[in-house]
Amino acid sequence: MTSFEPGAQASIASITDKVRPVAIGAPVTAVHFLGDRAFFVGAEEGVSIVDAEGAVSTVEVLSGGILCAASNGERIVMGGDDGRVVALDKKGEIAVLVTDAKRRWIDAVALHADGAVAWSIGKTAFVRSGKGEEKSLEVPSTVGGLAFAPKGLRLAVAHYNGATLWFPNMAATAEFLAWAGSHLGVIFSPDNKFLVTAMHEPALHGWRLADNRHMRMSGYPGRVKSMSWSAGGKFLATSGADTVIMWPFASKDGPMGKEPAMLAPLQARVSVVACHPKQDILAAGYSDGTILMVRMEDGGELLVRRNGTAPVAALGWNAKGTVLAFSDEEGGAGLLAI
C-alpha cells in the first residue's frame, strides 16, 4: 500500500484549533450522538454525555465492562459482562431491557431504526421487536456480530464459517451464507443489496444478496474493526491498513473485480473511520492518535488532531453532520463543529 511521505502531516491544513477538547477521564470505546449531545461509551460502567459547550455528565449504565453498543440515533443499546442489556435515551434515562440470570456476557447488540433490539449470548441471538415480542435463534457457534437489514425485520448473525440471515417473524428456516473462517463484525449495505463481514483474519467477506455471490476483500495488514458507509452507500470505508481503504459499492456488482481506493496514508494504522452522513467526506482516526478529515473525491486532507496519544477509539457525527465527536482509547476526547 501507499508509502508514507515524510512531512506530509506538516503540509496539510490544520483545523486543530477549532476543536473543543473534552476530558472524559476514562477509557472510551464508542461515541454516538443522540440529538445535539455526544454520548461517549466507556469501556466499563459509564457513558459520558457531553453537550455542545463541552460540559460532561456521566451516567452509570452497567456494573461491569461494556462489551458492545449500537445506536439508531434515538437510543443507544449496550450489552455488558454483567449479563444485562440496557438502553440509554436522549435525556440520559436508562432502561434495563434484559437481565441474564446466569450473568453471561452479552457479546453483541444491534438496534433497528424502528426500535427492535437484538443481542447475543454465546450461540444464541435474540430479537425483541418494537412491540415487545421476543424470539431467539441458535447458530452453530458463538455469535461474532449482529446487524439489522435496513428494510424489514431481518437480522444478520455472523459466526464461524459464515453468516445466517434470519427473518424473526417468518416461519421459514434461516438462510446460511457459508464462508470458511471466523466472522466477527457484520453490516448490510444501505440499499439492502450486500452483506459484508469483517473476519478474524485481516479481510472482509461480502455476499451479493440477490444471488449470494461471494466478494473477497483482502490485503489488509491488520484486522478490520471499523466499517462505515459513505452517504448513499457508494463506498464502504474501512480501518485495518495505514490508509483508509474504500471499497466501491455503487454498481450492481459491488467491489467485484475492482480495486479499492486508498486515502489518507500515514505511518500509522487506521483504527476508526466515520463517514459524514450527508457529504462525501470522512473522518479517520489512527493508532498514533491522529485524526484526519478526508475528502473522498480527491483525498484532500485536514488535520483535526495531532499524533502522540493512545489510538483513536471512537468517531461519530451528529445527524446533520455539523459536529464530529472523537476520543482516543484513554478518554482524550474532543468536539469539532464545522
List residues near other proteins by CB under 8 A: 27, 29, 43-44, 64-67, 81-82, 102, 104-105, 107, 122-123, 141-142, 144, 160-161, 180-182, 184, 199-201, 222-223, 287-288, 310-311
Closest contact distance (angstroms) between CB of 233 and other proteins is 28
Closest contact distance (angstroms) between CB of 48 and other proteins is 15
For other proteins, the closer of residues 100 and 175 by Cβ is 100
- Sequence-distant (6+) residues with CB within 8 A of 234 are 248, 249, 250, 280
- Residue 222 to residues 201, 240, 288: CA-CA distances in angstroms? 8, 5, 15
Closest contact distance (angstroms) between CB of 225 and other proteins is 9
| C-alpha triplet 76, 193, 254: angle, nearest 5° | 110
Strand runs (DSSP E) across 170-305, as ranges?
Answer: 175-188, 194-199, 203-208, 213-218, 227-229, 235-238, 244-248, 261-263, 270-275, 281-286, 291-295, 301-305
Which strands make up the sheet holding 332-337, listed edge to edge?
19-23, 332-337, 323-328, 312-317
Q: Are 291 and 282 in contact (CB under 8 A)?
A: no
Q: Are 233 and 240 in contact (CB under 8 A)?
A: no
Closest contact distance (angstroms) between CB of 64 and other proteins is 7
For other proteins, the closer of residues 16 and 307 by Cβ is 307
Closest contact distance (angstroms) between CB of 119 and other proteins is 14
Residue 11 belongs to what H/E stretch? Answer: helix 8-11
| C-alpha triplet 178, 239, 294: angle, nearest 5° | 135
Closest contact distance (angstroms) between CB of 213 and other proteins is 19
For other proteins, the closer of residues 48 and 318 by Cβ is 48
Cell numbers 450461540 label which residue?
123
Report how far apart the first and last C-alpha atoms of the chain are (Å, whole number): 31
Closest contact distance (angstroms) between CB of 297 and other proteins is 32
Alpha-carbon span 140 to 158, nearest angstrom: 10
